[in-house]
Every structure is written in C-alpha cells, then in structure tokens.
Structure 1
Amino acid sequence: MSENPLKIMYLSPVAGSGAHDDVFAKMAGEHKLPSTEVHVASLPEGQGRFSHIEFRAYEAMVTRGIIRATRQAAREGFDALAIGCFYDTALHDAREISGDMIVTAPCVASCEIAASISNRFGVIVGRRKWVNQMSATVREHGHEHRLAGFYHVELGVTDFQKDHAETERRLIEAGRKAVEEGFAESLILGCTMEVGFYHDVEKKLGVPVIDPSIAALKRAEYAAILKRQCGWKPSRKWSSEAPPEDEIAYIGGFDDGEIFGNRIVVQAEEPGPARKAA
C-alpha cells in the first residue's frame, strides 16, 4: 500500500449550519484506522438551510450539491466517499461521476454488514414516513429476503440527539419488538443521527446493532484499502459509464462556485479532529 494515508470523505448532505459535523467527526475519530484521514464535510448554505432531508423534495434539492461534492472530492484525491444519509441519496448518480474514487452510503453499507453476521435483520427507523422509500432501497440492494421489517420510533432526524434517555428507550422498545416478534438476528439503526446509541441498545437486546454512520465510514475505508492493495477501482463499463468531460464542461455548473460549506479534518495518527477552513 501507499505510504500516504487513506483519505475518506464523510459527506453530510445538509447545508448551512454544519450542525451535525462535530458528531460525525467524533464518530470518525473513534472508529477510523490510525492511518486514515477523514474529512467530515457538509454543503454550502447556498444549497439551502437543510438540517435534514427526510422528504423526497429535500433530497431532490440537495442532489446537485452531492454530485458537485463527489466530483470535487475525487479531484482532491480522496480514496472513498460516504454519503451520510440512510436514504442513500444520489448514490448511483454520485458513483457515475466519482472517477477512481469509491462511493458508498449508510443503507447499502449496513445491509452488507448485517448480511455478513446474520441471516435476518430488522431496521429501526425514525418515522413511518421513511419506510416506503427505505424498503425500496433495501430491495434494490438485494437484501429484501433478509429483512424482518421496519420498526419506527416516531422521531424525526433532528430529534434523536435532543433527549438521549428517551431516544434510547424508544430504540430499545422497537428493537425488542424486532427481535422477539420479527425474529431479527441483528438490527440496523435506520438514521445516521442515531449515532452513538448502538452499543447500549446492543447490550440490552443481545444482538448485533449496526450504526449506519459507522458502517458507511468503515465500508468506505475497507473499499479504499482494497482499491490500494488489489487495484479494485470503480467500473466505467456499460451502466457505470461516466459522463464525457467535454459535455460536462459545456453544460457547466459542476465545478464552479462554492462546493463545500463546513469541513472538519480528522487527521491520520492524531488524537482528535482539527478544524479546517472550508
């Protein structure tokens, strides 16, 4: 492998405040390999003041920003990028524009990990609203036959970090239903803002509980290692064909203007995150 550190970007597809970036930077610092450098980034306020993208209309609005951020991360030499939303927003679109950089996202990463440690998993989601779209995503990734079901706790994205005791109580209640009634052998927390709760829920329920933000980061890191060690880069044949560069240049809008808002760098071989100007 190269002596240069692995470079991973964790892209939070919200814009304006960067309010959640410190949470994800802490997660990255605790779970990345010592030799990995992680950039936790969000979109600029010009994309809209989104604190979540629970609604398809919000997803549509931020998709342009995700595409631009992915392209820029590839140009900056990142090995892999994780899109930080369990909807796996713009995953296929971003992969198309990512060059040699690997792109993953929380749902696909979590399902892959759950499938490697259990035969049947349940997904704990915030609101019933999310289930229709998330079930389609699980199906698309080929894991529908392993799915015990979705179990909602009626918390929005921005609610999970407000009252940790109440959030944990609801997660345990939903998880117990998934295990005892749905016969789930592992659980996936179906929102990246559920970060930090998996360990306590796991202890209470006695089954593996997958934190999707950690899953996305670690799958990105693992893919980056495989790319360096084995040369396994993204395919650009057939359905994976990238847009032609001359056409991108003619269309415009891919590379100009502000692309990232807030950015926190969690350095390789450093004990904690160091903030970097956007």
Structure 2
Amino acid sequence: MSQILVINPNSNESVTEGLRESLQEFNSSADIECCTLEDGPFGVETDEDIVNVIPMVVQRISESPEFDAYVIACYSDPGLAECNELFSKPVFGMQRSAIEKAISTGEKFGVLALSKQSIKRHMAYMRDLDLDGQLAGELPLDISVDEAANDADSFEKIVSQGRRLIDELGADVLILGCAGMASHRKPSEKVLQVPVIEPAQAAVSIAIEAV
C-alpha cells in the first residue's frame, strides 16, 4: 500500500485533525499520514505567510523520504513548484488538484475563499496555470483559517455564498478554498445539492492514482 504524507503548513492542529477525518475514506487505498508544521503561522492567510512556509514545506518533505507522494494541504499551493523541481517523488497541491477535479465534474466551478486577498492570489495562480476557463466566480467568506475550522457560523457563510455562486454566477460544482473547511464538505453538499470538492481529498485521490 502506498504511503502519502499530507502536510498542513500552518501550526493549527485543529485544521490537521479536520484533514485526518476528511481523508479517512481513503484508508483502504493508501497509508495516509497528516502532519502539522509547528513553526508555521497559525493560518496561512497572507502573501508573507506563503513565502515564509515554502522552506518549511521543502524541509518537511526532505526529512520524509519514506513516503511515496506528498500533498501540500493549503489552497495557495505554497512550495509546490519548488518541491516538484527538487524532488523526484510526486508532490501535489490542493488548488490545482481541486480545479482539475472540478473541471472533470461540472461545466462551471465556483470557489469559496477565505477573503478578498485570497481571491486575488488564487486568480493570478489560475491564470498562470491556464485553469480559469471554466471558472464561474470566487466569493469571500471573510473568515480566518481558524474560523473556517472551528467557528460554527462558517457553515452558514459557506451555504450563503455557495448559493450565490450557483444562482447568480452559474456554478454547478463548488470548491472549498481552504483546508480549514474540510469538515463542511458533506453537509454543504447536502444543503446546496451540487458537488462540493474538498481540495485535500482531490489531491490525495490524484496522488493515489499516481503511485
């Protein structure tokens, strides 16, 4: 059975625990280990946070050669390009994986982001990858990573903005744009009645197929 390391590049253990729960459905297909970068920011939310965690992600992978593949569990994919240049084993990012999954699932995808600042960063990345052709839109929840994982009000914001993406912008599949939202995938999909993609799940499923 393949071994996959899922790296949460922030220091918030509750986010990592949410990832563990979300990824349990893959336990019969791979040995999945989720880890927290203890020296990372409490939430990866700014451009500065992203720059700061890149060497930490690189170091964590370099110290973990026993794994067959790696997933960077942050929607901004910090360090993905660097890791794919440095390491021979495959490294997958959540955003790229989620968009590829969304494109294969529906006609137009919508993204639920933490903030307006996040959207600006995501849009630039999607354009660089030429993956924005089926984007219906991206809307902010105006919450932090920790609130995404631990604040009960976050679910209502996901549902409210999700409905806007569907009804106003024409999305027929949604992406949760932060690892902290992992626990909200199933309940939001049930309420909104469209496929909802949890990016870490998307990345792990692609990693399993690759190895």
> What is the TM-score when the length of structure 2 is the normalising length?
0.94
Could you tell me which of 122, 145, 149 is aligned with 1:134?
A: 122
On the 8 A contact 1:157/1:193 being kept in 2, the answer is: yes
- 1:81 aligned partner: 70
Cα distance in structure 2, aligned partners of 1:168 and 1:44: 27
Could you tell me which of 144, 159, 166 is aligned with 2:132?
A: 144
- Residues 238-253 of structure 1: pairs in structure 2 closer than 5 A: none
On the 8 A contact 2:15/2:146 being kept in 1, the answer is: no
Deviation of residue 19 (structure 1)? 4.2
Could you tell me which of 1, 4, 7 is aligned with 2:3?
A: 7
Give the direction of change, closer, same or farther, for the CA distance of 1:44–1:158 in structure 2 (3 Å limit). closer
Deviations along 1:258-277, one digit per CA (max 9) or x if unpaired, are xxxxxxxxxxxxxxxxxxxx
Cα distance in structure 1, aligned partners of 2:13 and 2:150: 17
Q: RCO greater where, 1 or 2, for CA within 8 Å and sep 6 or more?
A: 1
Secondary structure of 2:97 counterpart: helix
Amino acid at match of 2:5: M
Give the direction of change, closer, same or farther, for the CA distance of 1:162–1:35 in structure 2 (3 Å limit). closer
Deviation of residue 69 (structure 1)? 1.5
- 1:40 aligned partner: 34
Secondary structure of 1:20 counterpart: helix
Cα distance in structure 1, aligned partners of 2:199 and 2:176: 6
1:62 equivalent to 2:44? Answer no
On the 8 A contact 1:13/1:62 being kept in 2, the answer is: yes
- 1:25 aligned partner: 20
1:215 equivalent to 2:202? Answer yes
| Cα RMSD after superposing both structures | 1.5
Deviation of residue 35 (structure 1)? 4.0
Deviation of residue 44 (structure 1)? 4.1
- 1:158 aligned partner: 146
- Residues 162-241 of structure 1: pairs in structure 2 closer than 5 A: 162-164=150-152, 166-224=153-211
- 1:111 aligned partner: 99
Question: Identity rate of aligned residues, in percent?
Answer: 24
Secondary structure of 2:42 counterpart: coil
- 1:250 aligned partner: none
Bigger CA drift: 154-163 or 86-95? 154-163
Deviations along 1:146-185, one digit per CA (max 9) or x if unpaired, are 1011111111111113332x21111111011001110011
Structure 1 unmatched ranges of 5 or more: 225-278
Cα distance in structure 1, aligned partners of 2:167 and 2:157: 15
Structure 2 unmatched ranges of 5 or more: none
Cα distance in structure 2, aligned partners of 1:139 and 1:200: 30
Amino acid at match of 1:137: Y
On the 8 A contact 1:107/1:137 being kept in 2, the answer is: no
- 1:251 aligned partner: none
> What is the TM-score when the length of structure 1 is the normalising length?
0.72
Cα distance in structure 1, aligned partners of 2:58 and 2:151: 34
Give the direction of change, closer, same or farther, for the CA distance of 1:162–1:33 in structure 2 (3 Å limit). closer
Secondary structure of 2:63 counterpart: helix
Amino acid at match of 1:39: E
On the 8 A contact 2:15/2:149 being kept in 1, the answer is: no
Cα distance in structure 1, aligned partners of 2:14 and 2:171: 33
Cα distance in structure 2, aligned partners of 1:36 and 1:162: 28
Q: Whose Rg is larger?
A: 1
Deviations along 1:73-100, one digit per CA (max 9) or x if unpaired, are 3x22x1110001000111110111122x
Deviation of residue 20 (structure 1)? 2.8
- 1:273 aligned partner: none
